[in-house]
Amino acid sequence: MKTAEIARRYLDYFEKKGHTIVPSASLVSDDPALLFTVAGMVPFIPYLSGDVPAPYKRAADNQKCIRTNDIEEVGKTPRHGTFFQMLGNWSFGDYFKKDAIRYAWELLTTPDEDGGLGFDPKDLWVTVYEEDDEAIQLWLEHSTLPEERIQRLGKDTNYWTTGLPGPAGPCSEIFFDRGPAYGIDGGPATDDDRYVEIWNLVFMQYEITNVRSKYEFDIIGDLPAQNIDTGMGLERVAFIKQGVDNMYETDQVRPVLDKAVELSGKRYGENHEDDVRFRVVADHIRSSLMLLSDGVTPANDGRGYILRRLMRRAIRSMRLLGVDGPTFAELFAVSRDAMKESYPVVETDYARLAQYALAEEATFLRTLASGSEILDTSIESAKSTQSTALSGSQAFLLHDTYGFPIDLTLEIAEEAGLTVDRAGFDTLMKEQRDRAKADARSRKGQLADTSIYRDFRALGETVFTGYTDLETESRILGILVDGAPADRASQGQIAEVIVAETALYAESGGQVADKGVIVGPGYELEVLDVQKPVPGLISHTVEVTTGEVAVGHVATTVVDAANRRAAAQAHSATHLVHAALRDTLGKSATQAGSLNRAGYLRFDFSWGQALSPETRSEIEEIANNAVRDDLEVTTRVMSLDEAKAAGAMALFGEKYGDTVRMVDIGGPWSRELCAGTHVSSSAQVGLINLVGESSVGASNRRVEALVGQDAFRELAAERAIVSQLTSGLKIPRDQLPARIAELQANLKAAEKKIAQFEAKALGERVPALAAAAVSAGAYRVVAQSVGTVGSADDLRSLALQIRERLGSDAGVVALGGAAGGRPVVIVATNDAARAAGAKAGLLAKTAAGVLGGGGGGRDDVAQGGGTDASALPTALTSIVSALEGATA
């Protein structure tokens, strides 16, 4: 039974049981405590906790999930994958334990031919929370399980929490027995791989606080309603139903594994280490494809770092399988074909996804090449000092700074006959992880407990009137002071205020929050921020500037009209720039992020190379032509499907409900889903001035623009500068570029002549400096400071000339000087000195340590530097001392 068919049967079954079928939420989680949707229940947390009223009593879904906390186990066990799909059925205050158990058993054991999943009851086991007698009794009543196949387990396995204050409850897990060939008898309590968990039924009924660990917390009472949260692992059911040994061999994953086998020329099933690598490739390619399809792009932090890590682990695994060249073009195409039946977007948007993947692969292959050079230098250095190992710090530097995998460091070092201080590397890695965990705990600890908004949200959605009104009269529904409910707030206090209706725009969709005030009888509040802490609720952070405000007071929200107008200009300009980019670059130049505030816009888009000045000018001209043409701006509210059918762009990274707002500028020329505020016609934008274009990743570019009055001021300032230049140089404006180029050429020529004079003057000092050679052990040494030089290259040239003057004796030249205001030391050795053991790189490093910097290089010539120019005499003396000590 194919994976897509299992999902279809599951959803069909629960739809017949009165469940609303809900599409999968994005892999990018709305929860600020999470980078990704790590479990099927994440999108439903507001409903399960009661913070937001559920729009349905029963629901079922197939949720995409990403989880990387067990990434090192991928490929080693039959069930660990970074991307997985969780089938779930949900009840929000409707049915509870009995029906959850009854539904699960019926679907699992109904024969294939009757639309079920066809599991033999004799292969199924169940675990329950050890104190949940009710669940045991229900299993006995609604299944054919004998009591000995129902096992009681403790909180560590059969009590569900998020790990944070909020909803919790006992759970019951269903396991499939793979048979004696896979392990020992005894049921799931043995914790053996023979028993595969396929479904978890969570009976969510309590609210907990003071969470100290997975099984240490305080139950503070019942949830507002008893809920059911279940999750059936689609990949786990698929590998059982398809008769294969693990999830990597199922129909949605195995094709990638087979392609990796073909590219490597090796066989699957012959070598355990190679098999693990094949599985890692298959899993990580699919996970990367799905993350890209939900708008995540490779980056050095956050979600983008996780994606980058997955891709680089796949490249590393292919390299360890003997493939050094690019493979993503073939691997991603195979994964696309395997996943498109379940997720058509991976085919329709494949050009964009492949662009990111191929660019990331090319970048990392270059990283591997440069990392190999650095590693080769480290190996050569270790051998020159008769060391048999590379330090843990060297391996960590390669991993952390250059992205060079430790596995490759170990492999290459072993080929060179060296070991790596793996313990030292692991210690540094642990320290880095501990810092990251501490930072994550810190950020998590700073997150507001959204349950404080539950009672306010229960009163209904906040009505936003700001599309048509800049003032709206309402009533104060709630006040929060220091994160706790309060009945009033007084002058000077900072508080959060909830009202029933508001004209103030809450930050979203790249548009910053409105500025404004909230006023009422005897009080005035300055609005500092406007946010949506939970879906459907708008909260205003305010400072009480006059009087005292209390719950129940009449309140009028007043928008700063000038700021709103400028923000609307910027947001509409963003749409115009997006359309102009697509006109100029093509449809693959899609939005990857934006920021709009009064007078300014920042727009990120998918593109792999810098824009030429001509292209920038063309984009700017197209956008401003749209302003000149005074295009009508219209908005319509419709279903998401209707908007997509009309050609509206659903931007990656954005979340959309069933009903959306579509913004047209000039009809279909610019048609996007957008909840922001806009001008009524494009001429009201005024002016768009592109002021910057830069890279924000391997496949992302960013343009920045000033809008309206801010754009005019910038152009006026540039005009003033041009006027000053033309006046000072006494030339017409159209001759200014040529005149500046002429001045630059003259300046370069003068600098070249000065450098020649300086080099000649330095060269004239060669005889005197060579004559100043002194004995230091077995060496003749010139160790002199020559003062200020034009560059380190000048100092290097002088050192090499002096070295030639030292003849056949073991000669070492160490010259110090100041170049660009910083101290520099050049060390040069001749053949006789090197034969006697003198190494220029080590000597330069010695001097650099005195100067407060670093240095090194080849044995014949090397350079060091630092920050303390006053220490140059001491640095040169240290070289002489080192040579005397080496002789001794």
> What residue numbers does the annotated binding site for Zn(2+) cover?
571, 575, 674, 678
CA distances from 298 to 133, 291, 696 (A): 49, 10, 10
Alpha-helix residue ranges (DSSP H) falling in 217-349:
234-241, 254-264, 272-293, 302-320, 328-339, 345-348
List the binding residues: 571, 575, 674, 678
d(CA 171, CA 482): 36
The torsion angles phi and psi of 440, rounded to 5 degrees, stand at -65, -40
97-109 and 3-16 are packed helices; what angle lies between their axes, rounded to 10 degrees?
A: 140
Given the DSSP bridges, would you call strands 548-550 and 488-490 parallel, antiparallel or unpaired?
A: antiparallel
In 3D, which of 501, 477, 499, 489 has the Cα closest to residue 549? 489
- 280 CB-contact burial (10 Å; exposed 0-12 / middle 13-18 / buried 19+): buried
The C-alpha angle 568, 573, 579, rounded to 5 degrees, equals 135
Query: In angstroms, how far is the first alpha carbon of the chain from the final one?
Result: 80
List the one residue out of 804, 759, 812, 811 whose CA is nearest residue 786: 759
Question: Pairing relation of β-strands 419-420 and 389-390?
Answer: parallel
Q: Which of 529, 612, 626 is nearest to 572 (CA)?
A: 626
Nearest CA to 25 out of 78, 68, 70, 63 is that of 63
Residue 421 φ/ψ, nearest 5 degrees: -70, 80
User: What is each CA distance from 393 to 401, 426, 427, 852, in whole angstroms?
Assistant: 11, 10, 10, 20
Specify which residues 665 forms β-bridges with.
633, 670
Which residues lie across from 662 on neighbouring strands? Answer: 636, 673
Fill in the DSSP letter of residue 28.
B
CA distances from 117 to 101, 109, 111, 222, 242 (A): 16, 6, 6, 35, 12
Q: In terms of DSSP H, where are the helices of 215-266? A: 234-241, 254-264
Contact between residue 801 and residue 833 where contact means Cβ atoms under 8 Å apart: no
Sign of CA dihedral 667, 669, 673, 678: negative
- The values of phi and psi at residue 885, to 5°, are -65, -35
Beta pairing, strands 600-606 & 700-707: antiparallel
How many other C-beta atoms can be found within 10 angstroms of the C-beta atom of residue 452? 17
Burial class of 493 by CB neighbour count within 10 A (0 to 12, 13 to 18, 19+): middle
Q: Do 458 and 444 form a contact (C-beta atoms < 8 A)? A: no
DSSP state of 683: G
* CA separation, residue 702 to residues 312, 570, 611, 678 (Å): 25, 16, 10, 22
CB atoms within 10 A of CB 432: 13
Asked whether 632 and 712 are in contact (CB, 8 A), the reply is no
Q: Which one, of 177, 169, 125, lies nearest residue 151 by Cα?
A: 125
Question: What residues does 359 pair with on adjacent strands?
Answer: none
- Give the number of other CB atoms < 10 A from CB of residue 587: 10
User: Using CA atoms, how far apart are residues 782 and 767, in angstroms rounded to an integer?
Assistant: 12
Collapsing DSSP to helix, strand or coil, 435 comes out as: helix
Distance CA 876, CA 783 (A): 6
